[in-house]
Amino acid sequence: MINHDLIEELSGLLDLDTQESGRFLNGFFTAMVTELLAVRKLAVKGLGSFTVVHVPLKKISDASGITYSPPCNRLTFDPKISRADDTARIAALRLKLNTTEAERLGRAIATVFSNAVRQQREIRINGLGRFSKEHGLYGFYPERSIEELLNREYQNLEDVVLPRNDSLQVRKESKRPQYSIPIALLFFACVLSALLYYGKPEVIFSTSSRPHTENKVMPVVHKEIVSGPEQPAVALNAKALSAEGATDSLVLEKGECTIVLETFRLEQTALKERSRLQAEKVAAYVWPGSVNGIKYYRLMTGKFSNRAAASERLKSLPKKIAGSAYIQQVLKKGVIHGEKGL
């Protein structure tokens, strides 16, 4: 039984059997998660304070270029309580207890939590995280599920990287005399044509197929893997991929997954790379997108009913094709065309 020692201790303090004490403790844990998602702050005597902090869009400039990191919501924890304790209030509000019952339960739960933290015992809170010792340090480690719920409006947003060479080139050209502009443009067009024809496609996004890691809360980073029943997978085999290439379009339904092979700044580069993949019997499609008005073009392949099916397909792709490919969930229905994108 999860938190068996906590339930036993709570049972003695409330003079209840272990089944009823377990129901109260699990109900209070659910109330904590509900309150945190609704109010974005929570103080629990014996544990500490939980707060949801909004991190705005970041712009990081270095020698290689400019990186735009999407905004996110981050769960932070402080073992100290700087405001009123919410234990009795949420026990009354979420568990439907009267004032006397809620205060009695609050005192008992605070005692149980204080003893467990002082003795560095594990406290597992379903849907929120756990207090435990990792690498010799005792602290709070959030579940991945709570981060996903807090960031559902930012789901699947990735960093956007703009090479500094482009911006420097623009500034240099603006300082030159007017008569040099046509010559510079002609030279740039020739170089660009040569690169597109002979060179390797220009990839501006560096991505990974590894899942998103947890933010550090206290005191070390820890990732809680949340598992659940998978829906039956609908993965495309080689024949299905060939059929997609024949129709030159692919319908992606909301909630389905696809594999993003590479991301490009130029549509022409994406189309050229798509042609190369088609020659290797891989049905690829150009999926355009934009972040903060900056356009980019993803090269994707396949449609899958869930991430497990997409992951199996990704493992079967040759390394030279998979490269830094990653799995992305579709947020809205759309038709992806091989030549012209959405």
Paired tokens of 149: 């719920």
Q: Is residue 88 part of a domain?
A: yes
Q: Supply the pLDDT for residue 75.
A: 95
Does residue 213 lie in a domain region? no
pLDDT of residue 341: 40
Q: How many domains does the chain have?
A: 2
Of 93, 123, 154, which residue constitutes the final position of a domain?
154
If we measure between CA atoms, which residue out of 242, 250, 241, 236 comes closest to residue 337?
250
Residues 342 and 248 in one domain: yes
Q: Name residues of the chain where pLDDT drops below 70.
A: 1, 164-248, 291-292, 324, 337-342
221 lies in some domain:
no
CA gap 260, 209 in Å, rounded: 10
Distance, in Å, from the CA atom of 314 to the CA atom of 297, rounded to the nearest integer, reads 20
Residue with tokens 């947020």: 331
174 and 316 fall within a common domain: yes
Query: According to the model, what pLDDT value does residue 333 have?
Result: 81
CA distance 84 to 100: 18
- Residue 296 structural domain: 160-204+228-342
End position of a domain, from candidates 90, 120, 154: 154
120, 168: one domain: no
Concatenating the DSSP letter of every residue in 63-109 gives SSEEEEEPPEEEEEEESS--S---HHHHHHHHH---HHHHHHHHHHH
Residues 192 and 315 in one domain: yes
* Residue 179, in any domain of the structure: yes
User: Model's pTM, two decimal places?
Assistant: 0.48
- Same-domain status, 99 and 193: no
Q: What pLDDT score was predicted for residue 194?
A: 53
- 122 & 169 share domain: no
**pLDDT at position 204:** 40
pLDDT value for 291:
67
| Per-residue pLDDT, 109 | 96
